[in-house]
Amino acid sequence: MAPLLMSRNEGKEREKTFDKFFESWLAEQNQELKDLVSASRDVNKAGNKKPLEERVLVPLIERVIHHYEEYYVEKSKYSEEDVLGMLNPSWRSNLEGAFLWIGGWRPSMAFHLLYSKSGLQLEARLSELIRGIRTGDLGDLSPNQMSKVNELQKKTIREEKDSSENLAKVQETVADTSTVELSHVLMTGGSGLEEQVEANLASKEEGLVIILQKADNLRLNTLKEILAILTPTQALHFLIAAAELHLRLHEWGKKKDAIAAALHHPHP
């Protein structure tokens, strides 16, 4: 594992580098959203035909999944070098930061997104479903799919709880005997303890790296497992909803931050 502790300037350079990657990744997600929406229009025109699903939707969905995988691979690399920066991302708005769970979105949120979008689409096309016309979207989930989603949600919540508990244990080590002793010695005039301080904090950061990477794995696996339950057309609608929510929250948060900054630092 790469050294965890670095100078403040080095840490900020790492953040800037990942910041650039994240902005580039967001731009690609925005383009993917346009492709997904375009594909959904084609599906509506074609009437959810399987040849179109296999020829167009499956490769597109795989491309979007690969894009998410790229994000977490890159994030994993940076977390080993600057886990604190990854847990407190400067490239996220304050609005997004308020809803973060271990440096990212809470995996169980994916199920709430699925249920919300399913409910909206069910309401919009209820008359068709009543007449026995299959809509093929998220409002048309089968009982078997709902059962699988329910079981996956329970499993995800259990794993979330485990990670939250593990994070709490690491956070509590901030007040362990060795850290308290070091802080007291330094306060009473001790010197030459830089190596001990770094070693003490490094052990805590190593624990944070493990927890962050496990949380990111849960995020990615939850997304993949939900998509595996859905048909290609349903997966298309889910990915559209996920990208819309992510991009709009980022946009709204940036605007709120800009307004707050202008209020606190008005131009003369």
Task: Answer yes or no: are the C-beta atoms of 246 and 117 closer than 8 Å.
Answer: no
The pLDDT assigned to 220 comes to 98
> Letter for the amino acid at 117?
K
pLDDT band at 190 (very low <50, low <70, confident <90, very high): low
pLDDT band at 16 (very low <50, low <70, confident <90, very high): low
Region of 173 (left: φ > 0; alpha: ψ -120 to 50; beta: rest) is alpha
Residue with the two structure tokens 């990615």: 220
The pLDDT assigned to 13 comes to 53
The pLDDT assigned to 78 comes to 93
Residue with the two structure tokens 């330094």: 186
Per DSSP, what are the bridge partners of residue 36? none
The pLDDT assigned to 127 comes to 73
Residues in the chain: 268
All residues at 6 or more sequence positions from 184 whose CB lies less than 8 Å from its CB, including other chains: none
pTM of the complete model: 0.86
Distance CA 52, CA 69 (A): 25
The pLDDT assigned to 157 comes to 98
Structure tokens at 35: 């492709």
Q: Is the pLDDT of residue 132 over 70?
A: no
Task: Answer yes or no: are the C-beta atoms of 78 and 208 closer than 8 Å.
Answer: no
**pLDDT tens per residue, range 21-69:** 999 999 999 999 999 999 998 887 766 566 666 788 999 999 999 999 9
Distance CA 142, CA 147 (A): 9
* Alpha helices, DSSP H, located in the chain: 8-46, 50-52, 58-81, 83-87, 94-98, 109-124, 126-130, 143-172, 177-187, 194-229, 232-264
The pLDDT assigned to 1 comes to 38
Handedness of CA 117, 118, 121, 124 (dihedral sign): negative
pLDDT band at 3 (very low <50, low <70, confident <90, very high): very low
Q: What is the mean pLDDT of residues 156-184?
A: 92
Lowest model confidence (mean pLDDT) among 4-8, 70-74, 256-260: 4-8
Nearest one of 27, 251, 245 to 117, comparing CA atoms: 245
Q: What is the mean pLDDT of residues 207-214?
A: 96
Tell me the average pLDDT of the chain. 87
Distance CA 114, CA 229 (A): 12
Lowest model confidence (mean pLDDT) among 16-20, 152-156, 185-189: 185-189
pLDDT band at 185 (very low <50, low <70, confident <90, very high): confident
The pLDDT assigned to 7 comes to 45
Distances 4 to 74, 201, 207 between C-alpha atoms, Å: 16, 9, 11
The more confidently predicted of residues 94 and 7 is 94
**pLDDT tens per residue, range 215-246:** 999 999 999 999 999 999 999 999 999 999 99
Distance CA 50, CA 56 (A): 10
The pLDDT assigned to 6 comes to 45
